[in-house]
Amino acid sequence: MPRGSAHPAQGAMESTSSTPSSVTPQWDVFPQKTLGPIDITILVLYFVFVLAVGLWSMWKTQRSTVKGYFLAGGQMVWWPVGASLFASNVGSGHFIGLAGSGAASGIAATAYEWNGMFSVLVLAWLFLPIYIAAGVTTMPEYLRKRFGGKRIQIFLAILYLFIYIFTKISVDMYAGALFIQQALHWDLYIAVAGLLAITAVYTVAGGLAAVIYTDALQTLIMLVGAISLMVFSFVEVGGLEGLQAKYFDAIPSTRKENSSCGLPREDAFHIFRDPVNSDLPWPGVLVGMTIPSLWYWCTDQVIVQRSLAAKNLSHAKGGSLMTSYLKILPLFMMVMPGMISRVLFPDLVACAEPEICQKICGNPSGCSDIAYPKLVIELLPVGLRGLMMAVMIAALMSSLTSIFNSASTIFTMDLWKHFRPRCSEWELMIVGRVFVLLLTVVSILWIPLVQAGQGGQLFIYIQSISSYLQPPVAMVFILGCFWKRANEKGAFWGLVLGLLMGVIRMVLDFIFPEPQCGERDTRPGVLRYMHYLYFSMVLAAVSTLTVLFVSLLTEPPSEEMISRLTWFTRGDPPAKKDLAVSTSPDTAKGAREAERPALQIDISIASENSTNDNKCPTGTKKDSKLVRSLLWLCGMERRQENPEDVAPAKPECPMASLEENPLVKHVLNINLILSICAGVFLWAYFA
């Protein structure tokens, strides 16, 4: 939040100042509503439909192979990839957080979304060709190949898991539970437990293919529901002109006299704000915000894993373009509805007294995060409320299942396999699922800190933590991909120094929280005077200089750590070492498995797909019906069959995937220019 400026959702109550009821209807005009029978019916139908899509996608893919489970077999076309990228990014934390930031401080948070418009294109056109040529499954695996050694891979894998807990899983669970709490009046933690029960089916069973196909369905539901609410909201407030006129009168009736507490920001409708005293200074928006954005869109496992699942580079580019166009919508679907919610319910959404805020939403820091759920529950008619409830749960499920799948991938492929290199794939699948449960427990324990963080503005909490942890990783990836001289020592010490500084700043933020409106700021100078976006720029600079100096003072990387692993060497022919992979013991074993008699293969396939409980894979002990059902649900029904029979095809994948049809390539490049022009126009118009 602003360094030295007032938070609209904080303060102390000393006097009363009223606003015209015609402009800001009092909250008690709208009676408390809950979901009716029709809404519940729509919600149930939604779950049945999504479950059907999930089961269909489970039948369509090989969930019992590494490539089938983690990369959806590498057979996804552009539109499910694009929909999954959007759905994985726009979770319930976005709906709650962006609307809350809009209610509290205006449209500035939209800058994060429009920054992503460009970053997702950078992924497809610059980073993805390198990842495909390298033939990697995880991002820590890429750094191991690029720099050698194991310490960077392990260090980064652990860091990614921490980032998922701090900025993704717990935030999305809290946001989804907050919505259910407003709609059904359940206890927050009961709501969290219910959400986890829902997402467990997809996390355990589907693999990436089921996640991507259900994401495509949920993206459609999200767009229909959010646009419907947007239309109702703008009609209620009198369009964009009405919002611009009424937003500045959306003041809570109880607030401190002669202070800015509870008042809307004067620059609420500007993205570029004062470089010193504002909540989002414009130099930080242009530079400091771009660095974590590049980390998220170009090096985060959740995002890159979806792009690597595409059939080829053209389909991956098409998916990124689709996501880039969809990223235009959050300002109108989430931020402005949040601002409208403040206009309609100023005493609730913009409460300026900690004790009142505690009664309204259970968070004394402020209640701006209830802006979106309040709008849904109070404004929409019966039926549409159920649809929007489905939208919020769709957003939550799509992001949570994506994160759980990617966290499981990183833990099993980068950490567990390092400590147990001879472990079987059966063991990896079990370990990955158990780890997801552990990750979930830790995330639940982190929720109270999320609730208290950053003055009740969930989205600002996410971005501040990201600015402390992500810039060093982003710079190491950028230098590794585009500077051939970068070596392992430089990358490691750049990561360590940058992340040490970031963690210190993050800890200080929790020890010295931002003072409430009207209180004296006694925080250390590094917190009081340096905005987190400026700190992001400092972290990036320190990490970059460290990598440069250490790399230049130590030995250059070997040729095998550069070939097919940087932008300038992505087209190199596969080295002899790559070809030797196909004769490794594991691959040879896979080849021997593939040479089984056709009859035995037919038997094993029949036993895998049959619904007859008396059939089981050849050579395995008969299990109970319950055990076999659970194994089928997990995609682990074949204990003896080795799923590595797809391994020999892996070396050829990168070479085939980089080929593009010339006509398709031209169409994609034209759309690239159009998308960039649209983004530049939006930035200029709302700056």
Band of residue 551 on the pLDDT scale cut at 50, 70, 90: very high
Return the sign of the alpha-carbon dihedral for residues 438, 444, 448, 449: positive
pLDDT of residue 62: 53
Residue type, 185: H
Alpha-carbon distance of 317 to 82, in angstroms, equals 9
β-strands 15-16, 254-255 pairing: antiparallel
- What proportion of the chain, given as a percentage, has pLDDT over 90? 23
What pLDDT score does 543 carry? 96
Give the pLDDT score at 128: 93
Above 70 in pLDDT, residue 368?
Answer: yes
Token reading at 530: 């340096």
Q: What is the pLDDT of residue 651?
A: 38
The DSSP-derived string for 73-110 is GG-B-HHHHHHHHHHHHS-HHHHHHHHHHHHHH-GGGH
Q: Is the pLDDT of residue 424 over 70?
A: yes
What pLDDT does 434 receive?
Answer: 78
3-state SS, residue 601: helix
- What residues contact 465, with CB distance under 8 A and at least 6 apart? 166, 167, 506
**Which of the four pLDDT bands, split at 50, 70 and 90, describes residue 378?**
confident
Give CA–CA dist 185/69, Å, rounded.
37
Mean pLDDT of 450-469: 68
- Residue showing tokens 């970059």: 544
484-495 in b/e burial notation, b at 16+ Cβ within 10 A? bebbbbbbbbbb
pLDDT range class, residue 10, cuts 50, 70, 90:
very low
Task: Give per-residue pLDDT as tens, 588-639.
Answer: 444 444 444 433 333 333 333 333 433 333 334 455 667 666 665 555 555 4
- Angstrom CA distances, 682 to 115, 266, 329, 594, 677, stand at 11, 20, 11, 55, 9
**Tens-place pLDDT, residues 153-180:** 888 888 888 888 777 777 777 777 777 7
Q: What is the pLDDT of residue 656?
A: 39
Per the DSSP assignment, residues forming a β-bridge with 273 are 281
Sorted by sequence, the CB contacts under 8 Å of residue 611 that are 6+ apart come out as none
Tokens 């960077």 belong to which residue? Answer: 152
Region 93-104: what's the mean pLDDT? 84
Q: Is the pLDDT of residue 248 over 80?
A: yes
Spatial separation of the C-alpha atoms in residues 495 and 474, rounded to whole Å: 10
The residue with greater pLDDT, 70 or 398, is 398
Torsion of CA 136, 137, 141, 146, to 10 degrees: 20
Q: How many CB atoms lie within 10 A of CB 90?
A: 28
Integer-rounded Cα Rg, in Å, for the chain is 26
| Residue 283 reports pLDDT greater than 80 | yes
Query: How far apart, in whole angstroms, are the C-alpha atoms of residue 154 and residue 163?
Result: 14
Asked whether the predicted pLDDT for residue 513 surpasses 50, the reply is: yes
Q: Dihedral sign, CA of 57, 63, 65, 71? A: positive
Domain edges within the chain: 15-576+654-686, 587-607+614-650
Token digits for 561?
């750590």
pLDDT greater than 50 at residue 88? yes
Confidence of residue 118 (pLDDT cuts 50, 70, 90): very high
pLDDT band at residue 347 under the 50/70/90 scheme: confident
Q: What is the mean pLDDT of residues 227-233?
A: 91
Higher-pLDDT residue of 85 and 383 is 85
Q: Length of the chain in residues, anyone? A: 687
- Lowest mean per-residue pLDDT among 314-328, 338-352, 590-604, 646-660: 590-604
Q: Look-up: residue for tokens 């460290």?
A: 546
What φ, ψ does residue 534 adopt, rounded to 5°? -70, -40
- Looking at every residue in the chain, the average pLDDT score rounds to 76
- Angle subtended by helix axes 384-410 and 207-237, to nearest 10: 140
Question: DSSP string covering 199-230, please?
Answer: HHHHHHHTHHHHHHHHHHHHHHHHHHHHHHHH
pTM recorded for the entire structure: 0.76
| Mean pLDDT value of segment 668-676 | 95
According to DSSP H, which parts of 327-420 are helical?
Answer: 330, 336-344, 346-349, 354-361, 371-379, 384-410, 417-419
pLDDT of residue 366: 77
Between 631 and 116, name the one with better pLDDT. 116
| Average pLDDT rounded to a whole number, residues 184-200 | 68
DSSP annotation of 502: H
Q: How many whole angstroms separate alpha carbon 382 and alpha carbon 374?
A: 15
Q: Which of 232-246, 269-283, 432-446 has the lowest mean pLDDT?
A: 432-446
pLDDT bin (cut points 50, 70, 90) of residue 640 is: very low
Give the mean model confidence (pLDDT) for residues 35-39.
79
Q: How confident is the model at residue 33 (pLDDT cuts 50, 70, 90)?
A: low
**125 touches 482 (CB < 8 A):** no
- Least confident range from 60-69, 94-103, 271-280: namely 60-69
Residue 21 token pair: 């009821």
pLDDT tens per residue, range 40-77: 888 788 777 776 776 676 665 555 555 555 555 556 78
Architecture of domain 15-576+654-686: Up-down Bundle (1.20)
Average pLDDT over residues 633-661: 49
In the numeric block, which tokens belong to residue 68?
Answer: 């089938």
pLDDT in the model for residue 386: 82
> Which 8-state DSSP code applies to residue 622?
-
C-alpha neighbours within 13 Å on the C-beta side of residue 352? 29
* For residues 181-201, average pLDDT: 68
pLDDT at 261 over 80: no
- pLDDT tier at 3, thresholds 50, 70, 90: very low
